[in-house]
């Protein structure tokens, strides 16, 4: 491949990626998760939505990383998606048992530790 063709291809790739940049973004923090609602455009300038769920996790070495799941939603599906989401949210509202705010909070993880009986008088010896 000649240098000119390579430069043209890179230029097209840069131009193509420009169309996929976020046009509008709204992060929603919800407990341990963050949801991102991002509006992007196709090469033909048709807008679409990506919904990303991001959750902070830790590997075995204690290093943090983000586990992400992404949904792409295109214009032709907006109405069906909105109707389905509206229906399921209404179902939840109608059928969710009434609970107090305390019950709705995540329960803290149980902390277990082994303790030994230490006699502080023994420490001075």
Classify domain 22-92 at the CATH topology level: Nuclear Transport Factor 2; Chain: A, (3.10.450)
| End-to-end Cα spacing for the chain | 81
Which phi-psi region, left, alpha or beta, contains residue 62 (left: φ > 0; alpha: ψ -120 to 50)?
left
What would the pLDDT profile of 44-68 be if each residue is shown by its tens digit? 889 999 999 999 999 999 999 999 9
Output the pLDDT for position 47. 94
Structure tokens at 87: 């229906």
Spans of all domains in the chain: 22-92
What would the pLDDT profile of 11-43 be if each residue is shown by its tens digit? 555 455 544 677 999 999 999 899 999 999 998
């Amino acid at each position: 491949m000649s240098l000119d063709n390579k430069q043209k291809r890179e230029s097209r790739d840069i131009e193509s990626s420009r169309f996929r940049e976020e046009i509008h973004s709204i992060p929603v923090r919800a407990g341990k998760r963050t949801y991102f609602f991002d509006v992007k455009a196709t090469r033909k300038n048709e807008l679409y939505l990506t919904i990303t769920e991001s959750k902070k996790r830790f590997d075995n070495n204690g290093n943090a990383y983000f586990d992400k799941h992404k949904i792409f939603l295109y214009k032709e599906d907006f109405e069906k998606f909105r109707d389905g989401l509206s229906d399921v949210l209404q179902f939840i509202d109608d059928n969710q048992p009434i609970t107090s705010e305390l019950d709705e909070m995540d329960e803290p993880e149980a902390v277990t530790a082994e303790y030994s009986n230490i006699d502080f008088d023994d420490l001075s010896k």
